[in-house]
Chain A
Amino acid sequence: MASVDTATGGGRGRALLSTSTAVARFVGMVLATLLGLVAVTFVIGRVVPIDPVLAVVGDRASPSVYARVREEMGLHLPLWQQFFIYLGDVLKGDFGRSVLTTKPVVEDIARFFPATIELATLGTLIGTIFGVPLGVLAAVKRGSLIDQVVRVIGLVGYSAPIFWLGLLALLLFYAKLGWAAGPGRLDVVYEYQLKAVTNMVLVDSLLQGNMAVFRNAVSHIVLPAGILGYFSLAYISRMTRSFMLNELAQEYVTTARVKGLSERRVIWRHALRNAAVPLITVIALSYANLLEGSVLTETVFAWPGLGRYITNSLQNADMNAVLGGTLVIGAAFVALNLFSDLLYRLFDPRTRKR
C-alpha cells in the first residue's frame, strides 16, 4: 500500500496546504503508474515475435505493398513517436481490432468485462459478509476453536490453486450432487431470452422481471462466486483478526469496559469501528485480487468474462486483444488502489494531519 506522507504542518491553513500537495503528489503518482502501464503494454506489443505487417498483408504480398502497409501502420517511425501514437490511441479508447472476433477490442471488452465485474463483486460480498464476523470472533476468542478454523481457512486459501478448487467444486456440487449448475452463465434454453442491458445476467434478468432466467443464473454463478468468495474470505478474515487484536489491546477499549458497556457493544461498536478503516483498504485490495483471480476461475467455469477473453486471445496470438484486456484490468487495479487510499484518508483523520 502506498504510504501516506504529508508534510508536518501547524495550523489549519498549513494543514490544508499540505493536504493539497499530498493530493497533487498522489494524482501525479497515479498518472505515472497509468503511463507506466501503457508503456509496459507498448513494449510487450513490440517484442512479440509476430510481424504485425505480415499479419495484415499475408506472406504473398509484394515488397511494395509490404512497405506501404508498414508505413500506414506507422512502423517506420522512431519508437518514441510510435509510443505517443499508441498512447493517443489508448486515450481515445482505441485498442485496435481483435483478430479472433474481428471486432474492435473496446467493444469486446465492453461485452466481457461486466461478467467479470459481476463475478468479482459477488465474490467480494461473500468474502466480506462471512470474513469480517469470522475474523472478529477469532480475535475475541483467541486460541479457541473458531480461531483455529480461521487459521486453517487462511492457510488453505493461501496454498490451494484456485483453478484446482474450482474443478473439485464442479466435480462435487455439479457432477456428483447436482446442487449447482455447470459451467457457463446460463443454460442454453435461457441464453437468448434476455436483452443485454448491463451484460450482467443477474442484473438484467431482475430488471426484466424474468425470474426463471434469474434462478438459472444464480445456480450457475453460485460455484465460481463461491470459490472466489472463499479466497476473499481467507484474506479478509485473517486481516480482520489481526486488526481487531490490535484494537482490543488499546486503552480506549479498557475505558469502554470500565464505563460498564456490554462486551458486545465494546467489540462491535467501538473496536470494530476503528478496525474498519484499514479493513476498507483490505476489502478493496481483495476486490482487485479477485479481478485477477477471475482469469483462472473463468477458464475453469467457462465464464464469458474478460479473463477468459484474454487467455483465449493469448492462445490465438491475438495481441491487440491481450494488451487491451491487460490494460483494462491493470487500470481497474490502479483505480481500486486509488479508491481505497482515498477512503482511508476520508475515514482516518490521522492520515490528514500528521
Chain B
Amino acid sequence: MTIVNDPAAEPGIRGWLTDPEPTSRTQARIGNLYRGWRSFVRNPLAMVGFTIVVLLLLAAAFAPWLATHNPIVGGDLRTQRLLPPGDEFWLGTDDQARDIYSRLVYGSRLTLLVVVLVTVIAMPIGLLVGTVAGYMGGWIDALLMRITDIFLAFPRLVLALAFVAALGPGIENAIIAIAITAWPPYARIARAETLTVRNSDFIAAVQLQGASSGRIIWKHIVPLCLSSVIVRVTLDMAGIILTAAGLGFLGLGAQPPLPEWGAMIASGRRYIVDQWWVATMPGVAIFVVSLGFNLLGDGLRDVLDPKAAK
C-alpha cells in the first residue's frame, strides 16, 4: 500500500491524531473521533445545528444569570401586563406581567429535561429489545418484534394523549408517555444492526471462549449498534420536543406556572390578535431548537452512518 501524502509525516498533535498506523487502541479511537469531527465541521448546516444545541445547553445551565426577571412571579399587573417587546422586557410580557424572555430562558431547562429523560428511558429499552431479539432469534425474536410492530402501528401523539389521560397531566407523565411511544424505531434499528454482525467471525470467537449471551450482547453487539441508534435518536429529538410542546399546548404536559414553551403558546393564544408576541415568541423558540436538532442529526448521520446519507 502506497500512501501518496503520508499524514504521519506531519509533526505534532495533528500527526498523532491522523496517524494511519496507530500504536494503541486509544490513539485509534481518538483519531477516529478526530476524523469524524473534521468532516462534521466542514458541513455548515450541521455546525449551525450544533451551535443552536450548544446555545440551548448554555441557556439551561446559566438561566439564573441570563434571565432578567423572575420567570414565575410577574411584575405589576396594572402597568406591566401584555407589554410589547422593548428595552425593559426584551420580548414583551404575558398576561401575568411576566417577562417572556426570562420565561423562555428558564423553559430551555424543561425542554432539555424532556429530551434527556425520554432518551435515557427509550434508548436502553430499544437497544435491549433490538439486540436481544436479533441475537437470540427464534421465538424470542418473533415475540419481541411483534410487540415492537404493535407499538409502531400506533399514532404517537394520540397514544401519548391516552397515556397522559391515564397517568394524569404533568411533565413527568408526559415524559413517560413520550418514552413509551419512542422506543420501537430504536429496537428495529438495533435488531437490523445485530443481524449483520451476529454471524461474523469475531462473535464466533467470543462464543468459543465461553462468553455468555448477556456478555456478548452487552460487550460486543451493543457498542456496534450504538452509532446508528444515536443518529436516529438525534433525528428524533425534534419530534420529541414537538410532541412535548403539543402536550403542553393541550394542557396535558407541564402545568402552570412552569415556563414550558408549548403551554406558553396555549396561554398566549387568547391574545394572538392584539398581543401577537405572547404566543409567537415561545413558538420561535420551539422552532429554532427543533431545527437545531434536525440539522445536528443530519450532520451526525453523514459522519456516523454514511450508508444512509444520500
Contacts and interface: CB of A to CB of B under 8 A. Distances in A.
Contacts of A171: 272-273, 276
A323 interface: yes
Size band of the interface chain B makes with A: 35 or more
Task: State the majority secondary structure of interface residues on A.
Answer: helix
Interface string B260-283: 001001000100110010011011
Interface in B247-298: 249-252, 262, 265, 269, 272-273, 276, 279-280, 282-283, 286-287, 290-291, 294-295
A209 B117 CA distance: 55
A291 B159 CA distance: 13
A2 interface: yes
Interface string B151-174: 101111111011111111000000
A172 to B, nearest CB: 10
Nearest to B164: A314
B250 A311 contact: yes
B208 interface: no
Interface residues of A, number: 53
Contacts of B158: 292, 295, 310, 325-326, 329-330
B251 A315 contact: yes
Interface string A266-310: 000000000000000000000011011101100110000000001
Contacts of B265: 161, 163-164, 167
Interface string A28-50: 01001100110011001101110
Interface of A: 2, 29, 32-33, 36-37, 40-41, 44-45, 47-49, 155-156, 158-164, 167-168, 170-171, 175, 242, 245, 288-289, 291-293, 295-296, 299-300, 310-311, 314-315, 317, 319, 322-323, 325-326, 329-330, 333-334, 337
29 contacts: A2-B149, A29-B149, A32-B146, A32-B149, A32-B150, A37-B150, A37-B153, A49-B168, A159-B291, A160-B290, A161-B265, A161-B283, A161-B287, A161-B290, A163-B246, A164-B282, A164-B286, A171-B272, A292-B155, A292-B156, A292-B157, A293-B157, A295-B158, A295-B161, A317-B165, A323-B162, A326-B158, A326-B161, A333-B153
